Structure 1
Amino acid sequence: MDLLLWRHAEAAEGSPDHSRELTERGHRQARRMAEWLHKNRPKKLRVLVSPTVRTRQTAAAFTQDFEIVPALAPDCGVADLIGATGWPDASGAVLIVGHQPGLGRLASLLLAGVEADWTIKKGALWWFTNRVRDDETQTVLRTVLPAELA
């Protein structure tokens, strides 16, 4: 399985939190990463998005074919993210467009084996895959890409 974590692009400050929209810079970040994803995406990619405006706008730069998942809201935990994706047993690939601190904590768990407060920059993408070697399931970090380098 491939698991891609894409933190929403830069959004305007304000309230209510769920209604915050991308800034012009955020739209540029989302478009750049979307272009990279179009060239490098895994096949059979399922796109799951938090219900916030900023995550939907980020995902829309890449595709209109995404699923809004309430369990991916800003206050979600790692268990919610894993449950929504089926990691590591689902087939194919899943892209989550979500939030900090949940995405960073999931990245930490996948790579270090414990949840920690790792930061994923706005608009950045982290791509993981899992494999089995000698009857041991391993997590492999394939890509970490900040929006400005996409």
Structure 2
Amino acid sequence: MTLASDDKVLILFRHAKAEEGFGKPDHDRELTDRGRRDARTAGAWLHEHGLGPELVLCSTSVRTRQTWEAAEEGGACGETVEYDDTVYAGGSESVLRVVRESAGEAQVVLVVGHNPTMAALASGLAEGNGSLQAHDCLAAGFPTSTVAVLRYAGPWSGLGFGTAELDRCHVARG
């Protein structure tokens, strides 16, 4: 993907299907076999579309870490991976703040997180701007292994609600 110097891409990736939490803390839930397949398929989709982030901001939960690992097995690549508890516990405003503070000079940033935060952040950043097909996908509920690709022009510090366009939305199923 070729970007102008001030163009940015933010990829929001909801973790893949995880086991039910019976008797286990939420933070420790692991991916199911289906979740691993779906995450690998998401990684292949990212690779196929040339969406290689310079920075991956990943929740500290087991299922998000496993989602990114499986996505890498599928072909996704990230130059730097940072694990941040705010991506696990924070809402859309908090995750947006982490992106603004962490993105630095990166042009492509990917966040591996949780719902409802990922869907709310994608919807809020785009506020209806961008691809109608992508917005239809987003409106369908942002199930596990959904990837939303947003475009933004300007410094990361200026990224806010209504400033981006939703370019693509993809539900990965393996």
Give the alignment partner of residue 20 of structure 2, picking from 2, 8, 13: 13
Identity across aligned pairs (percent)?
Answer: 34
- 1:112 aligned partner: 127
Aligned runs of 1:22-61 on 2, under 5 Å?
22-61=31-70
Give the alignment partner of residue 66 of structure 1, picking from 72, 78, 81: 81
What secondary structure does 2:142 align onto? coil
Which one-letter code corresponds to 2:124 in the other structure?
Answer: L
User: Retained in 2: the 8 A contact 1:107–1:118?
Assistant: no
Deviations 1:99-128 (A, max 9, x none): 011111111211228xxx983110010000
Give the alignment partner of residue 2 of structure 1, picking from 9, 26, 36: 9
Structure 1, unaligned stretches of length 5 or more?
Answer: none
Aligned residues: 141
- Larger deviation, residues 102-111 vs 18-27: 102-111
User: Retained in 1: the 8 A contact 2:58–2:64?
Assistant: yes
Deviations 1:11-55 (A, max 9, x none): 000121001000000000000011111222335521110000000
Which one-letter code corresponds to 2:94 in the other structure?
Answer: D
Give the RMSD, CA atoms, in angstroms.
2.7
What secondary structure does 2:164 align onto? strand
User: Retained in 1: the 8 A contact 2:19–2:32?
Assistant: yes
User: Retained in 1: the 8 A contact 2:126–2:163?
Assistant: no
What is the CA distance between 1:76 and its match in structure 2?
1.2
Give the alignment partner of residue 78 of structure 1, picking from 92, 100, 103: 92
TM-score, length of structure 1 as denominator length = 0.82
Structure 2, unaligned stretches of length 5 or more?
Answer: 1-7, 73-78, 129-138, 155-161
User: Retained in 2: the 8 A contact 1:3–1:95?
Assistant: yes
- 1:130 aligned partner: 152
CA distance in 1, matches of 2:53, 2:172: 23
User: Retained in 2: the 8 A contact 1:38–1:62?
Assistant: no
Q: Which has the higher strand share?
A: 1
- Larger deviation, residues 117-126 vs 5-14: 117-126
